[in-house]
Amino acid sequence: MPEGLHLSPWSATALAALLAVAVAAMAHRIAAVVLRRATAPVPVVRAVVIACIPVMRVLLPLIALQLVWQAASDDLRYIGSVRHLNGLLVIGGACWLLIAAIGGLANGVIAQHPADVEDNLTARRIATQAHVLSRTAMTGVVMAGVALMLMTFPGARQVGASLLASAGVVGIVAGIAARPVFSNMIAGLQIALAQPLRIDDVLIIEGEWGRVEEITGTYVVLRIWDERRLIIPLQWFIEHPFQNWTRTSSEILGTVFLFADYRLPLDPLRAELQRVLEAAPEWDRRVGILQLTDVTERTLQMRVLVSARSSGLAFDLRCRVREALVTFIQREHPDCLPQVRLHGQGSPLVPAGAASPAPGVG
């Protein structure tokens, strides 16, 4: 070989590194095509593969480079630092791969149970478990990855050992600081397993009505009806009572209260209620009744009980029924609106809330 073609040790190593990266890239492309086709009949596995393919595009070259650096001569300048840096990148890439696989698995499981159906209780339960458990697992992977990276530094082992062995003020402060993090993680596992709430559940918390929009590893996002967001730590749900309107089913009953004079006939009002319900798309045809629930010295109290498939539909149905029945009373029986009767023969009837006639007025 001519003398000009001789390569320095670093040049030969760099050439080998370029060749290794090219081979890794080619292997990645072939493996991606094969795995996509092979996992097509299994949607969950396919979701994991699709999530991991972008990560492997980076991780495979890093592994190939690490093999080249390990095979290189120890006499090369800075080879130790290059090996260490590449090793850290491989650890980070491996953690990234695990996180992507966990996320792909969760998304694949959720995709198998769509929530855009009328009875989506099972889908919401599975989605909640998948979200919470996957994020808890991702947190564990990140912590393990950081620990492995730190252990590659000689001083980190000594620091870690001294911290574990210490039982003084540092240990107390660290325990107090870490308590909210671990308590929320444990609360997340409890919520995922016991499921007192799920994604898209309707909750009443601190007097606020809203739907569960997101469950993270540390908090729950409640989307309030007026588009505000209420952020609640996971631990709060373990320690405080709250209302869940969709715990076992999204079906719910709604009430409408009406007040009228004693002279109002109830049968026409019941017939009007039935007519309104038959024309209402929100009504699920389970419950639709009008009852006289109370009488006072001035008015009758009537309760209308209606049913709907969800709390949102129940609210709309209540508004529709309330407006229709009030309009019916105003149109057909205006004299049966709440009245105030004055003592004395021939005294007029005054609508409730109106000012009484002045003394001496006949």
**Do residue 62 and residue 37 come from a single domain?**
yes
Residues 317 and 188 in one domain: no
Q: Which residue has the tokens 């709060």?
A: 236
Long-range contacts, 180-184 (Cβ 8 Å, 24+) = 180/233, 180/235, 181/218, 183/235, 184/217, 184/218, 184/219, 184/233, 184/234, 184/235
Instruction: Please tell me whether residues 187 and 206 are part of one structural domain.
Output: no
Same domain as 263, residue 211: no
Residues 43 and 177 in one domain: yes
The number of angstroms, rounded, from the C-alpha of 339 to the middle of its chain's C-alpha atoms is 50
| Range scoring the smallest mean pLDDT among 6-20, 219-233, 235-249, 308-322 | 6-20
The answer as to whether 358 is a domain residue is no
152 and 276 in a single domain? The answer is no
| The pLDDT of residue 361 | 33
Residue 133 and residue 68 share a domain: yes
101 with 179, same domain?
Answer: yes
Structural domain contains residue 165: no
Q: Which domain holds residue 221?
A: 202-244
> Among the listed ranges 73-77, 86-90, 227-231, 304-308, which one has the minimum average pLDDT value?
73-77
Q: Please report whether residue 3 resides in a domain.
A: no
Q: Based on the domain organization, do 182 and 298 belong to the same domain? A: no
Tell me whether residue 275 is in a domain: yes
Number of domains in the chain: 3
User: What is the rounded distance in angstroms from the CA atom of residue 277 to the CA atom of residue 93?
Assistant: 60
Give the integer Cα–Cα distance in Å for 120 and 140. 30
- List helix spans (H) across the chain: 9-38, 43-71, 79-111, 121-151, 154-165, 169-194, 234-239, 266-279, 311-332
Tens digit of each residue's pLDDT (9 = 90 or more) over 29-71: 999 999 989 888 888 889 999 999 999 999 999 999 999 888 8
Q: Rounded to a whole number, what is the largest CA-CA distance in the chain?
A: 132
- What letter represents residue 324's amino acid? A
Based on the fold, state whether residues 139 and 26 are members of the same structural domain.
yes
240 with 285, same domain: the answer is no
Say yes or no: 211 and 266 in one domain.
Answer: no
> Full-prediction pTM beyond 0.75?
no
The tens digit of pLDDT for each residue in 212-235 reads 988 887 889 999 988 899 999 888
Domain for residue 308, yes or no?
yes
